[in-house]
Amino acid sequence: MNPMPSHKTKPQVIAITGGIGSGKSTVRKILEAENLSCIDLDDISRQIVAPGTPGLVKISEVFGQNILSNGVLNRAELKRRIFSSPSDKQRLEAIMHPMIRQATLEKLNCYSEKDLVVVEIPLLTEIGRPDYVDWVVVCDCAESTQIARVSARDNMSQEMIQAIMANQATRAQRLEIADYVLNTELTMDELSKAVKALIQSLKNQPAINR
């Protein structure tokens, strides 16, 4: 087995998190516009289960071949399975989380300790704070705003959105683990100014995990 990549000289890492429809992607785009390097764990998770990958092979072994459609992960079927079965959810997490962590560390290993890198971790509250994270920034808004955003973005029913939210950490739980909170109900101009001010502040602080 290959050793886990070392991160003794890892970059300074800001974790962005929040529930579905909380504005994480909007905040990440603001950060990217400020020339900060960003890693999206949703992108990593999609890469891990691409056709022909060890991740997809393992998932098909655990969940059966009906989880595939022409060699591609049937995401709708997998989502149905994990929403209806806590044990299936745990089995999926046992496969995905170690692979996501290793891929993330490999990416972070490409940066120096002088770099400031943003990692978007949607389920940070649920999985626990990774040891490579220096600061946790929670994107926060009212639950009604989450529902309205996702409904407009994904044309998803309110019932489905609420089911997804029920499977995520609560707003209170996310706020409890936050080092900083961004109110994403601000106007775009106000949010952009708040994000830039936060980044400037963090650049002037010593990283926590040194």
Report CA 113 to chain centroid distance, whole Å.
Answer: 22
Relative to beta strand 116-120, strand 12-17 is parallel
SS3 of residue 49 by DSSP: coil
At residue 53, φ and ψ (nearest 5 deg) are: -85, 155
The runs of H, that is alpha helices, within 139-184 are: 143-154, 158-166, 171-176
Residue holding tokens 């974790």?
15
Distance CA 124, CA 30 (A): 20
Tell me how far CA of residue 92 lies from CA of 20, 27, 59, 63, 86, in angstroms: 19, 28, 7, 9, 10
Instruction: List residues forming the annotated binding site for ATP.
Output: 21-26
Distance CA 187, CA 209 (A): 33
Instruction: List residues forming the annotated binding site.
Output: 21-26
